[in-house]
Amino acid sequence: MKGAIIGDIAGSVYEFDETAESLDFPLFAKGCRFTDDTVTTVAVAAALMEGKESHCGYIGPLRRQLRYWCRKYPDAGFGGLFRHWFLADEAPAYGSYGNGAAMRVSPAGWVADSLDEAQTLAELTAVVSHDHPQAIKGAIAVASAIFLARQGRGKEVIAAYIRKYFYDLSRTLAQIRPSYGFTCTTDDSVPEAIECFLEGTDYEDTIRRAI
């Protein structure tokens, strides 16, 4: 979670805007702040811990915690459809294929005791609002990579797993960057984010490559 939140803060001033032109930039520039992705990550963590402790399921806690935290920080940068969802008491999922589900899923990769559990929790964290197959796949892919890393699996093993079950990861960052523009769609951003991890030399370098 700390890794996700630090990356969110560092990248916040570049969202919807031009990316950093090189890896040499202030990691925390003036105007950096946490965004909706941090808020929803905290909400997901609270919900998963609650569900695991109570043994009463996860869907209820996920809906409740997401609405509680998002209403607490309504100006964090939420999209219009998701804002409508969390401001309504009983709104259903709305078919989003945006990357918000993948952005908030990191606690699923940490709370889980097995890869199967990580993937099940990841799907649950997505479907309460982002129930499009693309969004669900992205969330499961990210949670799977996190869990495998927690188990000490190397990047080659993680990459092979992601290629087998989720994305082909056929392009390097050097190939991606020339034609890449800002997008919220899962299939056009999650594979690129995973590639940043695969090419990164350490945590900070990975964040810089993503930005």
Domains of the chain (ranges; CATH) run: 2-210 (1.10.4080.10)
Mean pLDDT calculated for residue range 44-53: 96
State whether the Cα torsion 203-161-139-96 is positive or negative: positive
pLDDT of 18 strictly over 70: no
pLDDT of 16 strictly over 80: no
3-state class percentages of the chain: helix first, strand second, coil last, to nearest 5? 60, 0, 35
Other Cβ atoms less than 10 A from the Cβ of 34: the count is: 17
CB burial of residue 10 (10 Å; 0-12, 13-18, 19+): buried
What is the DSSP secondary structure assignment for residue 152, as one 8-state letter? T
Q: Where are the alpha helices (DSSP H) in 88-189?
A: 100-103, 106-111, 115-127, 133-150, 155-165, 173-176
Please name which of 148, 145, 153 lies closest in space to residue 195, comparing C-alpha atoms. Answer: 145
Other Cβ atoms less than 10 A from the Cβ of 11: the count is: 19
- State the number of CA atoms in the 13 A half-sphere of 159 facing the CB: 15
pLDDT in tens, 112-167: 999 999 999 999 999 999 999 999 999 999 999 999 999 999 999 999 999 999 99
Going by C-beta distance under 8 Å and a sequence separation of 6 or more, which residues neighbour residue 101? 125, 126, 129, 130, 135, 136, 138, 139, 186
Total-model pTM: 0.95
